[in-house]
Amino acid sequence: MKFWLGASFVDTGQFLELARAAERCGFDTLTLSDHLFYADFASPYPYSKSGRPRWDASTHWPDVWVTIGAMAAVTSTLRFSPNVYIAPARDLFTVAKQVSTAAVLSGERVTFGVGVGWCKEEFEGTGQDFHTRGRRLNDMLPVLRALWTGETVTVDGLPPLSISPTPAAPIPVYVGGDSEAALRRAAKLGDGWIGNRIYTEEQFDTVLDTLRGHLAEHGRADEPFEIIAPLAVLPDAGTYRRFAAKGVTGTMAAPWWLATPEEKARYGEGTLDLKIATMERFAEEVIAKM
């Protein structure tokens, strides 16, 4: 079982020390989320009962690839992934160049966590079509993989082209999302899947059955495939072993969300010290016992 540190909603100035601590504590991957701006969105947020986002205008959403580049410079083994990057809100070459550069600078420590997004306003802000985002992502992923090898490709009538720099190893592509379309996309085009919701065991079993059905449909039932599932369980090594037996290869954790009252009183709500203290406790009580 790999442990991914879910670092959404973190103040930008905390990321470098958080990355150092994550590497020291034995986390496999540090993730951060992708948003372009805050507004009074008309688009319903799919992960709350109210349909409203769980953040406000003061919440930091630093650029994913700039932040990954900075964190890679102060670590040596920790991996990084967006959770998830809304690629179809950008053009193909912007995505290709940012991800490839981050992969090279990090020494091939980048995973491309990607999804279609939910916020129509962000697509309008970048001039991309919201309604075709799924089809465009399906078309984009094979071309991105080809570009990241450094090979020459032909795109949309342009002359044969390539990009540089490109990494020495393939960049893993993990497709995020809980919809039927997202699960199909992951099974067909991804090296893995990232769940966006926090699953109970019963919910996860249903999703896992669907995902395995799609993998079998595409002749991939016996291929290696990463399953990163945020789980609605208290941190416990035995529980994680049970989920690993089901096929989960990794899960998300943000230990400071489960800080004790004593830890909050000692270190202060939202502080870097609180985050690191709870990560160290998680590493001792869970990661070290796996």
Is 283 buried (19+), middle (13-18) or exposed (0-12) by CB count in 10 A?
A: buried
In this predicted structure, what is the pLDDT of residue 244? 93
Residues 24 and 133 occupy one common structural domain? yes
In this predicted structure, what is the pLDDT of residue 54? 86
Residues 204 and 262 occupy one common structural domain? no
Which range of residues forms the domain containing residue 106?
Answer: 2-255
Across 171-194, b (16+ Cβ under 10 Å) vs e yields: bbbbbbbbeeebbbbbbebbbbbb
Model confidence over 6-55: pLDDT tens digits? 999 999 999 999 999 999 999 999 999 999 999 999 999 888 888 888 89
pTM metric for this prediction: 0.95
| Local structure of residue 255 (DSSP, 8 states) | G
Residues 251 and 289 occupy one common structural domain? no
Residues 143 and 96 occupy one common structural domain? yes
**Long-range CB contacts (within 8 A, 24+) of 219-224:** 220/187, 224/191
DSSP secondary structure string for all residues of 155-198: -TTPPSB--S---SSPPPEEEE--SHHHHHHHHHH-SEEE--SP
Residues 61 and 79 occupy one common structural domain? yes
- Residue 103 · residue 171 · CB < 8 Å: yes
CA distances from 73 to 7, 66, 102, 112, 247 (A): 18, 11, 11, 18, 33
Residues 80 and 221 occupy one common structural domain? yes
- Residue 225 · residue 207 · CB < 8 Å: no
In this predicted structure, what is the pLDDT of residue 202? 86
How many structural domains compose the chain? Answer: 2
- The Cα 276–Cα 238 span in angstroms is 23
Computed from CA positions of residues 62, 68, 73, 79, in that sequence, does the dihedral angle turn out positive or negative?
positive
Residues 205 and 265 occupy one common structural domain? no
CA distances from 12 to 55, 146, 195 (A): 15, 33, 24
Strand order across the beta sheet in which 226-228 lies? 79-82, 29-32, 2-6, 250-253, 226-228, 192-194, 173-176, 112-114
Residues 249 and 264 occupy one common structural domain? no
| Local structure of residue 76 (DSSP, 8 states) | S
Residues 146 and 193 occupy one common structural domain? yes
**Which parts of the chain have pLDDT scores under 50?**
none
Residues 181 and 290 occupy one common structural domain? no
In this predicted structure, what is the pLDDT of residue 14? 98
Residues 6+ apart with CB under 8 A from 37: 122, 125
> What angle (nearest 5°) sits at the alpha carbon of residue 226, between those of residues 26 and 181?
135
- Residue 175 · residue 190 · CB < 8 Å: yes
- The Cα 254–Cα 8 span in angstroms is 9
Residues 72 and 202 occupy one common structural domain? yes
In this predicted structure, what is the pLDDT of residue 34? 96
Residues 205 and 228 occupy one common structural domain? yes
In this predicted structure, what is the pLDDT of residue 129? 98
- Residue 15 belongs to domain with CATH number: 3.20.20.30
DSSP secondary structure string for all residues of 3-61: EEEE-TT--GGGHHHHHHHHHHHT-SEEEE----------SPPTTSTTSS-S--TTS--
